[in-house]
A and B are shown apart, each in its own frame.
Chain A
Amino acid sequence: MTARHRTPKPQLPSRPAVPAAAPSRLRTVWRAVALALLAVALLPAAHGQQLEASGALRVLGFGLPDEIATERVALFEESYPDVDLQLTEGSIDQQQLLTAIASGNPPDVVYLNRADLSTYATRGAVQPLGQCLQDAGMDMGQFREAAVQEVTVDGEVYGVPDFYTVIVLVLNTAALEEAGVPVDEFSTSDWEQLAQWNQALTRNEDGLTRIGFDPKLPEFFPLWVRANGGQLLSDDGRTALLDSPEAVEALEFAAGLHEPAGGRAPFMAFRDTWDFFGAGNQMASDQLAAFPIEQWYVNVLSDVSPDAPIAVKAFTDRQGDPLTYATGSAWAIPTGAANPEAACAFVTTMSSPEAWERAGRARAQLRAEAGGTYTGTYTGNSVADEVIFGELVQPSGDAKFDDAVQVILSVQDAAFSIPANPAGAEFRQAWTDAVNRVLNGEQSAQEALDQAQQEAQAALDAAWEE
């Protein structure tokens, strides 16, 4: 089993887990030192080399919803004026992606979910990028380890990571106080304690009016398994471990958290009524006490309900160490692309620190003009993160959101991902269905995961064979 606590890479200065209570001056000093060291260590690799590129370049799957996107594209167009960029706007789904990649005339660049990349990489549908990265002088070391793992198959890199979304705990401090649960001590490490807190925090007298702790099943099942010291798939991506005792225990525990609400059905029915993205969201309306959620939700909260009583903490495993699950997107070049040189130039520019910095600056400026603050962008590129969070992100004045930023930053390197494998969708479906079967009361955790293990292993075997 791999070590759960990730040691940082040698190039990065070891960053202490900065608790929210650290004096701010110390933090500023640390940041300055870190920045200086990084600049010295990584500048040559991060700067990148200009490539020869021209002609038409077709990019599929990347939307242009905001300045973070448009600024990066602008940088590319300025750096490579000879390239005729044809960007098909809008994100694409599995269906479109397969059709595009399988067609005899695929686009030059695709933007896809990192988790899906290995399905195509292992089947030879996208190109290895080793040579491209070398020519462009881009060092994969600047990207977060979990992201790099997701884009690497058998030691070869097939994608360039873009964005890095981690999971954190969001707490409703008012609810916790009301139920007598200490906010400072609240953590997900002690599972018995968590179950008790869940019971105390659930308000279910005349019907369910508040959920205590939402374990976010089935989506976050991998997180729970990891917290319990297990993993769903072996590191080489060939052996499913769905029926391991850690996985079964994790599923039993997380499924059991629905009991105080009366079971999964009333739990879900209630959850469906939440105004998730609105001003009356479940935190502001006291409908939920705590849950793990992707970090972008903190931004949503600061947008629509800045006064809601929340606190953000790191999700921790049963040993007490911070743990999170990272997802995001990646750039890839399909096999048979018509213009691989321009494609290489594009993918290495878009995810470079300069591009991110430029995008971040633009957003910071826009926010300032609108009277708000820039809360940062988690890029998956640690060099870019340094610049963004070191220079561009200023304290907003609202302690709970500033602390949230620190927490999110602190867990960036505590992330794991599912190893690259060719049966991505089918593997995911196997454990998702198993979790759902348990939640619906159709099977016990052991039975469901045994079945899932069979299905997943069969899928993996069939897929790896070719």
Chain B
Amino acid sequence: MEVAGRRPATFEAAASAEMAAQRPPRSRARDLLSRVLFVALLLGCSLVFLAPFAWLVSASLKLRSEVFNLEWIPDPVQWVNYVKVWQAAPLLAWLKNSLLVGAIGAVAVTLSSSLVAFGFAYFRFRGRDLLFGLVLATMMLPQAVTMIPVYLIWNELGFINTLVPLWAGNLFGSAFYVFLLRQFYLTLPRDLFNAARIDGANYFQMWLRVALPLTRTAMIVVFVFEFKALWTDLMKPLIYLFDNTLFTMPRGIKTLVDRFGQGGEMQWEIVLAATVILTIPLILIFFLGQRYFIEGISASGVKE
């Protein structure tokens, strides 16, 4: 949905609250009252949204028998739970694996998707739109359809129980990111590329030297998004890995839930501590790269 000419073409503006104009007030007093009311409502909702986090952190610091008591503040504060979980499972290995898969996979998909997106955005050729339609159609394909044969492929190639299947698919671009990056490339003025062509650049250099730097924000968005997706993926490690030390964090947590959870030894404080450890890096990354996250999401939904 291109609302041509009505909205700024860049995404910073669309996403950032500060730049949007204020609506004309109906009456000052009423406006103030409604503002206060709205803030109060939002505060209430925020509490609801944050409560599970608070409970999570609080419960992860409790004694086993007290995990489910009604206190918000643990007494005594069991920092040792975090030590216990470190000893109970190869958390370091899991974190390392998640980091490895996340970083390599995110870089791979960013580069490959931007190549493909550039192909669709810049060039004109027969069948381009049909092919792009196909790219979009693949977004509708349930993972379940290809899951088993892809598993068999990796089995044939001997990559079962390695981290390779978890990131190697990203070498070939991903429809969602191709779509997203294409949107960004479409906003670049053609003149820039013409100028580069005059300077003797070939297509690849045009991509490398003109397109990439100008869409740095978008690339970071893609990287951050994919990192999050890889960091939290359960299905792939579930079917490809059987060596405990190769697990990624989500797969590891699943093992902990099985072992220490309902059907196991009921040491929930360990599971919860691992959950906190799993979630914190993402929240940190989010705070650092907030702008990119928000832009990425806004961009995907607002512009088609």
A residues at B contact (CB < 8 Å): 60, 88-93, 95-97, 99-100, 102-105, 275-280
Contact indicator A88/B243 (Cβ below 8 Å): yes
Known: A91-B259, A105-B160, A277-B265. A100 touches B65 (CB 8 A): no
Contact indicator A104/B156 (Cβ below 8 Å): yes
Known: A88-B244, A93-B258, A103-B161. A277 touches B266 (CB 8 A): yes
B136 CB to nearest A CB, Å: 33
B222: Cβ under 8 A from any A Cβ: no
Q: Which residues of B contact A275 (CB under 8 A)?
A: 65
Q: Which residues of A contact B155 (CB under 8 A)?
A: 102-104
Known: A276-B266, A277-B265, A278-B65. A100 touches B156 (CB 8 A): no
The prevalent SS among residues of A at the interface is loop
Q: A276–B261 Cα gap in the complex (Å)?
A: 12
Contact indicator B160/A90 (Cβ below 8 Å): no
B293: Cβ under 8 A from any A Cβ: no
Chain B 155-168 interface 0/1 with A at a Cβ cutoff of 8 Å (1 = within)? 11010110000000
Q: Which residues of B contact A276 (CB under 8 A)?
A: 266
B227: Cβ under 8 A from any A Cβ: no
Contact indicator B240/A99 (Cβ below 8 Å): yes
Chain B residues 240 to 287 lying within 8 A of chain A, measured CB to CB, are 240-245, 255, 258-259, 265-266
Q: Which residues of B contact A280 (CB under 8 A)?
A: 65
Minimum-distance CB pairs A-B, first 5: A96-B242, A103-B160, A90-B244, A100-B242, A99-B242
Q: Which residues of B contact A90 (CB under 8 A)?
A: 244, 255
Q: Which residues of B contact A104 (CB under 8 A)?
A: 155-156, 158, 160
Among A99, A100, A104, A278, the one with the most B-chain Cβ atoms within 10 Å of its Cβ is A99
Contact indicator B239/A95 (Cβ below 8 Å): yes
Q: Which of A97, A277, A279 contacts B242 (CB 8 A)?
A: A97
Q: A12–B65 Cα gap in the complex (Å)?
A: 45
B49 CB to nearest A CB, Å: 27
Contact indicator B245/A88 (Cβ below 8 Å): yes
Chain B, residue nearest A93 (CB): B258
Q: Which residues of B contact A105 (CB under 8 A)?
A: 158, 160-161
Known: A88-B244, A275-B65. A99 touches B239 (CB 8 A): yes
Q: A89–B93 Cα gap in the complex (Å)?
A: 13
Chain B 209-249 interface 0/1 with A at a Cβ cutoff of 8 Å (1 = within)? 00000000000000000000000000000111111110000
Chain B, residue nearest A96 (CB): B242
Chain A, residue nearest B161 (CB): A103
Q: Can you list 6 contacts pairing A with B, beta carbon distance less than 8 Å?
A: A90-B244, A91-B259, A99-B160, A100-B242, A277-B265, A278-B64
A337 CB to nearest B CB, Å: 15
Count residues of chain B with CB under 8 A from any CB of chain A: 20
Among B156, B240, B242, B255, the one with the most A-chain Cβ atoms within 10 Å of its Cβ is B242
Contact indicator B238/A95 (Cβ below 8 Å): yes
Known contacts A100-B242, A103-B242, then 9 further A-B pairs from the complex at CB < 8 Å, ordered by chain A residue:
A88-B244, A91-B259, A93-B258, A95-B239, A95-B242, A99-B239, A104-B158, A275-B65, A276-B266
Chain B, residue nearest A272 (CB): B262
A41 CB to nearest B CB, Å: 40
Q: Which of B156, B242, B259 contacts A60 (CB 8 A)?
A: B242
Q: A92–B239 Cα gap in the complex (Å)?
A: 13
Chain A, residue nearest B64 (CB): A278
B79 CB to nearest A CB, Å: 21
How many A-B contacts if CB must be within 8 Å? 47
A50 CB to nearest B CB, Å: 30
Contact indicator A99/B266 (Cβ below 8 Å): no
A105 CB to nearest B CB, Å: 6
Q: A105–B156 Cα gap in the complex (Å)?
A: 10
Chain A, residue nearest B89 (CB): A90
Q: Which residues of A contact B255 (CB under 8 A)?
A: 90, 93
Q: Which residues of A contact B242 (CB under 8 A)?
A: 60, 92, 95-97, 99-100, 103
Q: Which residues of A contact B160 (CB under 8 A)?
A: 99, 103-105
Chain B, residue nearest A273 (CB): B68
Chain B residues 167 to 186 lying within 8 A of chain A, measured CB to CB, are none
Chain B residues 1 to 15 lying within 8 A of chain A, measured CB to CB, are none
Q: A104–B153 Cα gap in the complex (Å)?
A: 11
Q: Which residues of A contact B238 (CB under 8 A)?
A: 95
B91 CB to nearest A CB, Å: 13
B257 CB to nearest A CB, Å: 11
Chain B residues 121 to 165 lying within 8 A of chain A, measured CB to CB, are 155-156, 158, 160-161
Q: A102–B255 Cα gap in the complex (Å)?
A: 21
Contact indicator A99/B259 (Cβ below 8 Å): no
Chain B, residue nearest A101 (CB): B242
Q: A88–B243 Cα gap in the complex (Å)?
A: 7
Q: Which of B156, B241, B258, B265 contacts A99 (CB 8 A)?
A: B241
Q: Which residues of A contact B156 (CB under 8 A)?
A: 104
Q: A380–B57 Cα gap in the complex (Å)?
A: 43
Q: A105–B243 Cα gap in the complex (Å)?
A: 13
Q: A157–B259 Cα gap in the complex (Å)?
A: 30
A236 CB to nearest B CB, Å: 31
Q: Which residues of B contact A278 (CB under 8 A)?
A: 64-65
Chain A, residue nearest B239 (CB): A99
Q: A100–B155 Cα gap in the complex (Å)?
A: 10
A436 CB to nearest B CB, Å: 15
Chain B, residue nearest A61 (CB): B242
Q: A102–B65 Cα gap in the complex (Å)?
A: 41
A60 CB to nearest B CB, Å: 7
Q: Which residues of A contact B243 (CB under 8 A)?
A: 60, 88
Contact indicator A99/B244 (Cβ below 8 Å): no
Q: A238–B44 Cα gap in the complex (Å)?
A: 61
Q: Which residues of B contact A99 (CB under 8 A)?
A: 160-161, 239-242
Q: A277–B265 Cα gap in the complex (Å)?
A: 8
Q: Which residues of B contact A100 (CB under 8 A)?
A: 161, 242
Q: Which residues of B contact A93 (CB under 8 A)?
A: 255, 258
Q: Which residues of B contact A95 (CB under 8 A)?
A: 238-239, 242
Q: Which residues of A contact B158 (CB under 8 A)?
A: 104-105
Q: A60–B245 Cα gap in the complex (Å)?
A: 12
Q: A394–B258 Cα gap in the complex (Å)?
A: 35
Q: A103–B239 Cα gap in the complex (Å)?
A: 11
Q: A91–B260 Cα gap in the complex (Å)?
A: 12
Chain B, residue nearest A278 (CB): B65
Q: A96–B258 Cα gap in the complex (Å)?
A: 13
A233 CB to nearest B CB, Å: 24
Q: Which residues of A contact B241 (CB under 8 A)?
A: 96, 99
Chain B residues 49 to 107 lying within 8 A of chain A, measured CB to CB, are 64-65
